[in-house]
Amino acid sequence: MSSTDNQQPAQNSGMLERVRAIDAQIAHVWMVRTFLKHCDEAEDDDDLREIVRDLYDFILAVGPVDDSIDPVAYLKMAKKKMRRLVGATALYEQIQPEVSGHTNFVMAARSLRLAVDRIFQIVSS
């Protein structure tokens, strides 16, 4: 067995750890998305509905993590969709004070920012 053969499982293991770390943050993105999707304010706000769609687009694109996940394909898709996730986060932070100053909306913005920043770090590493 060559040293390259030994490196491949270790590399895949590291990639799988990154995938799982992203998946853990997606749980937070999902909760923010669900909160925004079902809030009364989303009924009349096109920007808010766009944010909900963009968050869902990222979540759907990377898909659920299970034992058959291909870490290379997952990380590639996460990187490809990152711009949209970052954009949705920035838009929500921008419009959130206009949508509502309620603590739930403020905390949703903070939670989303923390999760997206962590996903960005993982994807970029």
pLDDT in tens, 4-15: 445 566 677 899
Angle between helices 3-38 and 103-124 (to 10 degrees): 160
Q: How high does pLDDT run on average in the chain?
A: 93
Return the pLDDT at 67: 78
50 has a pLDDT exceeding 50 = yes
Residue 60 has pLDDT above 70, yes or no: yes
Mean pLDDT of 57-82: 94
Q: In one letter, which amino acid is 83?
A: R
Residue 2 has pLDDT above 90, yes or no: no
Contacts of 118 (CB under 8 A, 6+ apart): 21, 25
What is the CA angle 72-55-24, rounded to 5? 55
Residue numbers of the domain that contains 44: 3-124
* pLDDT, tens only, 20-37: 999 999 999 999 999 999
Higher-confidence position of 66 and 110: 110
User: Tokens 């499982």 belong to which residue?
Assistant: 9
Q: Structural domain tally of the chain?
A: 1
List the CATH number of the domain containing 55.
1.20.120
Question: Which tens digit of pLDDT belongs to each residue from 78-124?
Answer: 999 999 999 999 999 999 999 999 999 999 999 999 999 999 999 99
